[in-house]
C-alpha cells in the first residue's frame, strides 16, 4: 500500500473542512492518530501506519484544523507579511524581540497569550470525535503525539465513552505545569533559526533545522532522508501562522484533572526530548490512574522508524486490554 499517495478526502466536520484518510479494514478495531503542533498528518510515518494495519487494526489519520489540507482558520497577519520584505538583519531583530514574549522567566513557554484564541483544545478534540462519528466508529484507540497527546487527554476527559485506550507520545498536562522543565536552550536556538528561515521563505530549511534539533542521540539525524519527508509535509500544507499554540494556551492545564482519566493509558517518551522533557511524560504516568510508560533511551521528540520494533509490540499489547 502506497501511503504517501494524495488519497484521502475532505469532509465538512464540526463546522470546518477536515482532511482525513483511512487504512485497513474498518471492521477491525480503530486507531485514531492525532498529530502535534505545527505538524500535519504526513508526520506519521508510512511504516508506523503499515505496522498497525498489518496487525489487524483500522487506522484513521487526519490534519488538525489550521494545518495540512484541513481548514486554515488563521491567516498570516499583515505585520508578518510586511516583515518578510525587510532585510535579513531586521527580520532577525524582529524574531529576537518576539522570543522575549514566547518564554517566561523560568524558560517555559509563556501561556499568557494576549490575543484571544479562535479555538481551543476542546474544539480540536471535537474535530476528532466528529471524524469518528462520520466513519461510524463508536470507540477507538486514541494515539496522540505532543499537542495531539494534549487533544487526546481532552477527549478522555470530555468524551470518555468514545475511547478504548490512550497512547500519549511525548506529551504534557500543560507547558506551565509547576515543577516541570522547559525546553532546552539548544531547541530554543533552533526554533529561533527556524522562525527566521520561514520568514525568509526557506520553509524546507526551516523544517530541517527544527527536526534536527528534536532528534536524540540514539539514531543520528539523516538530513538527506528527512529532506524527502520535508517535501511531503510541505506538499500537504504547513500554515506557519496557525493559532495552535494559542489554542493550547487558551485551554486549562490538565494537571489537576488527570486523576479523572479512566481509560487504559500508555505514556511513550524519549529520554532526550528537548521540547517536552521526559519529566512531563513521567508526570502523566504518575498522575493518570494505572497508566503504564515506555521510556525510549536516547530518543528525542520523535518516533523513529528504527524504534518501531520496540514501540509497536508495547502498543499492541496495550490495545488488547
State the pLDDT at residue 295.
98
Partners of residue 61 on adjacent β-strands: 21, 33
Q: Indicate whether 236 pLDDT > 50.
A: yes
Domains of the chain plus CATH, in order, are 6-321 (3.40.50.1820)
State the pLDDT at residue 2.
44
State the pLDDT at residue 98.
87
State the pLDDT at residue 102.
87
**Cβ atoms of 287 and 258 closer than 8 Å:** yes
Span 233-239, mean pLDDT? Answer: 96
Q: What are 308-319's pLDDT values in tens digits?
A: 999 999 999 999
Q: Indicate whether 289 pLDDT > 80.
A: yes
Span 181-203, mean pLDDT? Answer: 95
**In angstroms, rounded to a whole number, what is the distance separating the alpha carbons of residues 208 and 35?**
18
Closest by alpha carbon to 149, among 241, 64, 256, 221?
64
pTM reported for the whole predicted model: 0.95
DSSP tally for the chain: helices H, then strands E: 11, 8
**Cβ atoms of 266 and 168 closer than 8 Å:** yes
**In angstroms, rounded to a whole number, what is the distance separating the alpha carbons of residues 65 and 68?**
8
Helix-helix angle 46-54:308-319, to 10 degrees: 40
Closest by alpha carbon to 190, among 169, 175, 174, 207?
207
Greatest extent of the chain over all pairs of C-alpha atoms, in Å:
57
Alpha-carbon distances, residue 119 vs 82, 126, 134, 218 (angstroms): 26, 11, 21, 37
Q: What are 85-125's pLDDT values in tens digits?
A: 999 999 999 999 988 888 888 889 888 765 678 999 999 99
Task: Of 105-119, 181-195, 282-296, give the lowest mean pLDDT range.
Answer: 105-119
State the pLDDT at residue 114.
55
Q: Which pairing describes strands 265-270 and 292-296: parallel, antiparallel, or unpaired?
A: parallel
Span 166-173, mean pLDDT? Answer: 98
Opening angle at CA 49, ends 212 and 262, nearest 5: 95
Amino acid at each position: 500500500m502506497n501511503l504517501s499517495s494524495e488519497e484521502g478526502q475532505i469532509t465538512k466536520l464540526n463546522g470546518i473542512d477536515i482532511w482525513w484518510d483511512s487504512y485497513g479494514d474498518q471492521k477491525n478495531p480503530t486507531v485514531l492518530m492525532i498529530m502535534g503542533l505545527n505538524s500535519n498528518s504526513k508526520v506519521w510515518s508510512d511504516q508506523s501506519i503499515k505496522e498497525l494495519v498489518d496487525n489487524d487494526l483500522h487506522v484513521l489519520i487526519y490534519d488538525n484544523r489550521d494545518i495540512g489540507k484541513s481548514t486554515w482558520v488563521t491567516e498570516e497577519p499583515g505585520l508578518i507579511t510586511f516583515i518578510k520584505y525587510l532585510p535579513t538583519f531586521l527580520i532577525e531583530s524582529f524574531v529576537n524581540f518576539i522570543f522575549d514574549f514566547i518564554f517566561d522567566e523560568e524558560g517555559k513557554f509563556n501561556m499568557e497569550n494576549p490575543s484571544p484564541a479562535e479555538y481551543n483544545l476542546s474544539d480540536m478534540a471535537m474535530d476528532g470525535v466528529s471524524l469518528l462519528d462520520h466513519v461510524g466508529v463508536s470507540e477507538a484507540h486514541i494515539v496522540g503525539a505532543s499537542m495531539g497527546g494534549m487533544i487526546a487527554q481532552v477527549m478522555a476527559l470530555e468524551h470518555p465513552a468514545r475511547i478504548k485506550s490512550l497512547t500519549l507520545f511525548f506529551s504534557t498536562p500543560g507547558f506551565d505545569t509547576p515543577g516541570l522543565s522547559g525546553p532546552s536552550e539548544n531547541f530554543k536556538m533552533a526554533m529561533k533559526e527556524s522562525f527566521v528561515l520561514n520568514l525568509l521563505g526557506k520553509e524546507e530549511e526551516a523544517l530541517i533545522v527544527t527536526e534536527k534539533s528534536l532528534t536524540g542521540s540514539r539514531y543520528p539525524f539523516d538530513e538527506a532522508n528527512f529532506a524527502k519527508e520535508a517535501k511531503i509535509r510541505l506538499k500537504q500544507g504547513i500554515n506557519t501562522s496557525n493559532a495552535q499554540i494559542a489554542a493550547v494556551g487558551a485551554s486549562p492545564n490538565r494537571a489537576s484533572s488527570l486523576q479523572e482519566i479512566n481509560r487504559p493509558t500508555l505514556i511513550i517518551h524519549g529520554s532526550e526530548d528537548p521540547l517536552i522533557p521526559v519529566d512531563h511524560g513521567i508526570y502523566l504516568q504518575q498522575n493518570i490512574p494505572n497508566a503504564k510508560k515506555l521510556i525510549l533511551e536516547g530518543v528525542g521528540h520523535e518516533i523513529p522508524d528504527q524504534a518501531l520494533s520496540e514501540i509497536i509490540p508495547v502498543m499492541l499489547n496495550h490495545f488488547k486490554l
